[in-house]
Structure 1
């Protein structure tokens, strides 16, 4: 019988020095919350770092402490699974700026009050600097691989490009090397929904016991649409009515899809901080790997010696296959070994989180 994944008991790291940021500022008193599964071998070279998406967290395998739901990638990580905890030491850290234990806007600043909007604007590369600091503390000089989907893929790209000596392989799933105008537009709608909520109070809502829940809920609804596909929505909901035989000729949730989105929005407010949503979406919008390296994407990979795997999905219109192809072309131009595959799945962008057996084969084959 396969052994259960082992949870590392040391799940919080306080950085000994301020973390330098792309903005030119430094973030003091940084705490990084992480989980790790499996065992680090004697050579300390069997570690895989998993980077989470925008609203994800470090709870890859364990139940979420607020919702009680299973870990977000429990189907992918564990004994005998594609990311095999009997073989690898698997780490996932909550990104800085988030709200699941790592330092973010809701954390206390040095004066004992929440950072709120005093928190410095961060970038994907800043998040990765936090990951590297964690690896340093764990004594891991080089990863077997860095893996990530969506925003996690941006972090994987950034780590492998900006810290090329730290990983031997990079697996980037349903992601992009830069945020498009359309991506930025959707994020701006969400941010404006939050900031237009009277309960946002210019970000200083922590002392009031109530935040901008309505605005955050709308932001989540708008974003959630981008994670799905039209075919998936039609198949799952179509134009079917919600618990009624006829339209109400009002503005209640007449359609199943309306009820579904409202549920997604409301449930999201129970587990996520609105200010964190502002900061993380801004970090994603700023992400442009080519811009960081003189305007040419191939330059980003000039020092890399890693092997690469890129995965896209045919129904993902948030980060379509063309985005992965651009990265593959840049890796080819840099002379690096790269595998690229577009998988067929009906779920849209969220396919990397759902039951797509072909993805299991790709992940297990590449990491093995």
Structure 2
């Protein structure tokens, strides 16, 4: 059995898929997707899809652990001694994949707001093309949370036999009006910032509106219960600790994410709806051909159990897990001890071991 780890976690590992036509009919030239690929060379593949401000580094490295480090890795729930994992930075992202900050090959200038609108389906189609170029023609499972869960749900409908299992965490079959409302607040905060300059800002760091957008998002990602337990109205000097925490989160997002990318991905999330061109929710759900596992988290304001579980029950071969947590929506990023073993056992039920091929 080979345990060679293929493709190191390098920021500049990319695959070029060439020209790519979007759902809108517009075509992007010279499209690249940055990716991380880790695990035994001949092992079954698990495709991991990241959330809104995530990136391709789900595993990461010992120096820079990935955003799902502890859930994905050697001996973890997604065990990289048994599976090979692949994670792409999404189309429209800002960590190496083609997006608004990329250079338009025709104008030799950054796309900025001239980048065409993208959908969750565009993101999935682009990853499918990239996987083929990586000589991956089937995967054991597609796994993702939040925006990554939206991708997972579309994967199962766009390429229903490409995988053996689907895991959609903290994601609904369509984005609720509540979710769209908060996305709108975040988008307006960015767009109405004079420094935004219609997407032509000089530096991300100048965008105070981006800070506000992130703060608004953080309120929905966590629960009031968690904030109360963690901060308990403690005050340092002139600010309450919760205020300092919000300021910190607002500053941090500007260091690691592009505001234009943020806007494009918010818009893609707004339009997420598996019913589009597929009929009713029940008609869409019956099109899943492989087991669909859904996970909801207590206090998730954006993607509540009340929307996820009934949808899951419409699919022929599905199972739903509800996780008790104070973290709310961000529950899919933490407390792996609560639900990681469930994921581990489901992934390994019927998994085909290709190590000896």
Partners of 1:163 and 1:302 in 2: how far apart? 14
TM alignment of 1:88-103, pairs within 5 A? 88-103=83-98
TM alignment of 1:59-74, pairs within 5 A? 59-63=57-61, 69-74=64-69
Are the aligned partners of 2:5 and 2:41 in contact in 1 as well (CA < 8 Å)? no
| 1:227 corresponds to 2:221 | yes
2:212 pairs with one of 210, 218, 221: 218
Partners of 1:26 and 1:91 in 2: how far apart? 25
Cα deviation, residue 365, structure 1: 1.2
3-state SS of paired residue (2:255): coil
Cα deviation, residue 363, structure 1: 1.0
Normalized against structure 1, the TM-score is what?
0.89
Q: Decide whether aligned partners of structure 1 residues 210 and 95 sit closer, same or farther in structure 2, where only a CA change above 3 A counts.
A: closer
Cα deviation, residue 302, structure 1: 4.2
Cα deviation, residue 211, structure 1: 5.5
| 1:107 corresponds to 2:105 | no
1:47 pairs with one of 45, 48, 65: 45
Q: Decide whether aligned partners of structure 1 residues 223 and 69 sit closer, same or farther in structure 2, where only a CA change above 3 A counts.
A: farther
| 1:137 corresponds to 2:133 | yes
Partner of 1:79: 74
TM alignment of 1:269-308, pairs within 5 A? 269-294=254-279, 296-308=280-292
Partners of 1:292 and 1:223 in 2: how far apart? 30
Are the aligned partners of 1:177 and 1:287 in contact in 2 as well (CA < 8 Å)? yes
RMSD over equivalenced CA pairs, Å: 1.8
Partner of 2:185: 189
Cα deviation, residue 362, structure 1: 1.5
Cα deviation, residue 285, structure 1: 0.2
Are the aligned partners of 1:198 and 1:212 in contact in 2 as well (CA < 8 Å)? no
Are the aligned partners of 2:204 and 2:259 in contact in 1 as well (CA < 8 Å)? no
| 1:323 corresponds to 2:324 | no
3-state SS of paired residue (2:37): strand
Structure with greater proportional strand content: 2
Q: Deviations over 1:47-82 (max 9, x none)?
A: 100000000000111159xxx752100011111111
Partners of 1:343 and 1:171 in 2: how far apart? 14
Q: Deviations over 1:91-124 (max 9, x none)?
A: 0000011100000000000221000010001011
Are the aligned partners of 2:49 and 2:145 in contact in 1 as well (CA < 8 Å)? yes
Partner of 1:34: 35
Partner of 2:352: none
Partner of 2:355: none
Are the aligned partners of 2:71 and 2:336 in contact in 1 as well (CA < 8 Å)? no
Partner of 2:322: 342
3-state SS of paired residue (1:258): helix
Partners of 1:210 and 1:299 in 2: how far apart? 43
